[in-house]
Amino acid sequence: MITPMMKYSLILYHNDYQDFLTRLQDLGLVDITITNWETTDSQRALLSRIEAYRQAVTRLGELAKEEAQASAKGAKEASSAPASGKNTYPDATAAYEAYRQAVTQLEELHGEQTRLTKEIEELQPWGEFDATQIDKLRQGGIELHFYSLFTKEYESNREAWSQRYALSEISRDSLRTYFIVAVPAGEEPDIDAQPIKAPTADYRGKQAEADQVRKKIEEQRTILIGCIPYRDAFEQESLRLTDQLHLEKVSLSGQKEADDTLILLEGWAPAEKQAEVEAVLEQTGAFYLKERPTPDDEVPVLLKNGKFARLFELIGNFYALPKYGSMDLTRYFGPFYMIFFGFCLADAGYGLLLTLGGLYMLLKGGPKLNSVAKLTMLCGGATIVFGFLMGSFFGIDLKTLPIFEGMKDKFLYTDDLFTLALGLGIFQLLFGMTLKVITVTRQFGFKYTLSTLGWMIVIISSLAAFLLPDMGVQGFSTQSPAYWVCAGIGLFMMLFLNSPGKNPLVNLGSGLWNTYNDVTGILSDVLSYIRLFAIGLSGGILALVFNQLAFGLSPDIPVVGAIVTLIILLIGHGINLFMSTLSSFVHPMRLTFVEFYKSAGFESTQRAFKPLKHSDKD
């Protein structure tokens, strides 16, 4: 749900302004509307520092994982670098300065390493030699020319060239041959090959330089490892600077009046917290007016959902927040998203892996991954259910196993899945239209929902007329008067009651236009849900194909065959799990944001509730 807000119009004496903002920041409950703000040089520098600290936190986090993996594999002794749990600097400021200098050095060293690697690759084909000897030959009247050529072409021309010139092959790789031709100084050999600039150094010297650079890189990396214990302090500093930037934005947003002696502000706070807010306002001596939001206000949005729905706020935030005064659809699309995810992935084995992965994140990922871990477990659980309903476990068709012999009629087959996908789509769209009716009734009154209700009556009565006779229920079909009465009532509401208070002829014209758009729109929306069937079916087929490849292509040699089978299974199912999970994540999101949001009349806003506060107190 959307948290109710109260609007505060504030008037302050200019000398009390900064102290007042500091008190609000300590309170952490008021979102001040920022207006007419332009970035200054100091704020751009502040933004740069915030980003630098964020990058430090990310980089040190990745480095800590690398160190943990290396230690787990026994790749390094514990004494090879400062332990990530020990403080090696007097404070976080010194650690950050060491980190910053190390990063700068690493950028230069990596550039030097790239240059040396390229030079070594160019020099290595010419082997070990003394570059001064080339100069002595040139002074003696002999000049060396260096070439490379595809080996096949070189072999076809080598004999002819050798008869005309002093030619010597130096080395070969998988594709090319490297050779030199000696001719008198000033003469240009007639060799149809790629000329190469004469090497000026032995690759061994460059290799020694590269080794020194690698040592320096390790030294700087050791410095970074020593900064890992200060990662939380860097994150706190990033939050502190972010709060400072927010405070500066707010301080520049006040509207000055009365020869700049008074400052006007607009603030927002949750209605349930107004007692706390007003107590602070009274203490500061600020004059304020309190009122409820109007439809013209741009109200910041704060969502307040239960434990289950809160997990799906992560999904909803990929699109937009609901507009204040409209309905928060998070709790309503959450169960659908979970079901759609399971429908698309549709393999109990894959669902089991996701559930175990979510459980691992829950236990090891810390508070930041708590919501992601629980959402993963929910979607994994839905996948297990749908996987068993469809009879798929890592691509194994459960319907063919003797243990499930008596349950064959319980599994869902292709026709069932197609019908289920369309049924879920129609149900979600009708549910969305019901939510739209509720929202519009709250905002504008029931009479503005009659057109939508008419459209729902036509859809539901038409579905009933087609389905009930097949289910053995008589008396309501496309031939019965009851159906035509219901359809007529629905059509009348659609055509003549779509704009209450307007001329009936105007309503008829707009009703016909809206009916055309609604018919074409709902047909395309319903058909969009076929993607659930298609994605689930394709993932199951790919899993089955990888199983057949694994057992069909493996040799009959006992141990080797088992290894080959295992490799194909791991690679094949790994690819399929990644692609199917990605599709299962994206396509239900698309159905939510396009089809469901449209049918529910979703209205969005980009303004989230962002109170002036100290982030380290969250």
pLDDT in tens, 328-358: 899 999 999 999 999 999 889 999 999 999 9
Q: What is the pLDDT of residues 223-247, one digit of tens each?
A: 888 888 888 889 888 888 888 888 8
User: What pLDDT is attached to residue 507?
Assistant: 62
Q: What is the pLDDT of residues 138-157, one digit of tens each?
A: 888 888 899 999 999 999 99
Using pLDDT thresholds of 50, 70 and 90, give the confidence band for residue 262.
Answer: confident
In a domain, 155, yes or no: yes
Mean pLDDT, residues 17-35: 86
Asked whether residue 282 falls in the same domain as residue 167, the answer is: no
Q: What is the pLDDT of residues 164-190, one digit of tens each?
A: 889 999 988 888 999 999 989 888 888
Asked whether residue 171 falls in the same domain as residue 283, the answer is: no
Query: How many whole angstroms separate alpha carbon 318 and alpha carbon 585?
Result: 12
In a domain, 532, yes or no: no
Task: Render 539-558 in DSSP notation, one character per residue.
Answer: HHHHHHHHHHHHHHHS-SSH
Query: How many whole angstroms separate alpha carbon 343 and alpha carbon 336?
Result: 10
Whether residue 303 contacts residue 5, with contact meaning beta carbons closer than 8 Å, is answered with: no
CA distances from 269 to 292, 322, 431, 607, 615 (A): 11, 17, 32, 14, 17
Asked whether residue 178 falls in the same domain as residue 279, the answer is: no
- The number of beta carbons lying within 10 Å of the beta carbon of residue 95 is 24
User: What pLDDT is attached to residue 477?
Assistant: 74
- Which of 262, 278, 300 terminates a domain? The answer is 300
User: What pLDDT is attached to residue 380?
Assistant: 93
Asked whether residue 137 falls in the same domain as residue 261, the answer is: no
Asked whether residue 258 falls in the same domain as residue 244, the answer is: no
Mean pLDDT, residues 516-532: 78
Distance, CA of 505 to chain centre = 50
CATH number at residue 288: 3.30.70.120
Using pLDDT thresholds of 50, 70 and 90, give the confidence band for residue 215.
Answer: very high
Q: What is the pLDDT of residues 547-593, one digit of tens each?
A: 888 887 767 777 777 888 888 889 988 998 999 999 999 999 999 99
The CA angle 75-219-98, to the nearest 5 degrees, is: 120
Q: What is the pLDDT of residues 457-509, one digit of tens each?
A: 888 888 887 777 777 777 777 778 887 888 788 877 777 766 666 666 666 66
User: What pLDDT is attached to residue 77?
Assistant: 46
Whether residue 18 contacts residue 252, with contact meaning beta carbons closer than 8 Å, is answered with: no
Written as six digits, the tokens of 593 are 């944001």
- Which of 180, 198, 216 terminates a domain? The answer is 198
Using pLDDT thresholds of 50, 70 and 90, give the confidence band for residue 21.
Answer: confident
Asked whether residue 51 falls in the same domain as residue 116, the answer is: yes
> In whole numbers, what is the pLDDT of the chain averaged over residues?
84
In a domain, 295, yes or no: yes
Query: How many whole angstroms separate alpha carbon 107 and alpha carbon 589?
Result: 40
In one letter, which amino acid is 35? T
The CA angle 69-70-72, to the nearest 5 degrees, is: 65
User: What pLDDT is attached to residue 80?
Assistant: 46
In a domain, 534, yes or no: no
pTM for the full model?
A: 0.73
In a domain, 90, yes or no: yes
Asked whether residue 89 falls in the same domain as residue 212, the answer is: yes
Asked whether residue 188 falls in the same domain as residue 224, the answer is: no
Asked whether residue 107 falls in the same domain as residue 52, the answer is: yes
In a domain, 134, yes or no: yes
Whether residue 184 contacts residue 145, with contact meaning beta carbons closer than 8 Å, is answered with: no
Query: How many whole angstroms separate alpha carbon 399 and alpha carbon 390?
Result: 9
In a domain, 81, yes or no: yes
In a domain, 257, yes or no: yes
Asked whether residue 117 falls in the same domain as residue 261, the answer is: no
- Which of 179, 198, 217 terminates a domain? The answer is 198
Q: What is the pLDDT of residues 29-84, one digit of tens each?
A: 888 888 766 777 888 888 898 899 999 998 988 888 888 777 766 644 444 444 44
Asked whether residue 187 falls in the same domain as residue 212, the answer is: no
Mean pLDDT, residues 281-295: 85
User: What pLDDT is attached to residue 79?
Assistant: 41
**Residue showing tokens 């490379």:** 148
Distance, CA of 428 to chain centre = 25
Whole domain around residue 273: which residue ranges? 1-34+253-300
Q: Where are the beta strands (DSSP E) in 139-203?
A: 142-150, 166-172, 176-184, 194-196
CA distances from 499 to 10, 448, 450, 486, 496 (A): 40, 7, 9, 21, 8
Query: How many whole angstroms separate alpha carbon 500 and alpha carbon 240?
Result: 54
Asked whether residue 109 falls in the same domain as residue 223, the answer is: yes
Q: What's the number of domains the chain is made of?
A: 3
- More confident call, 377 vs 458: 377
Q: Where are the beta strands (DSSP E) in 273-390?
A: 287-291, 321-322
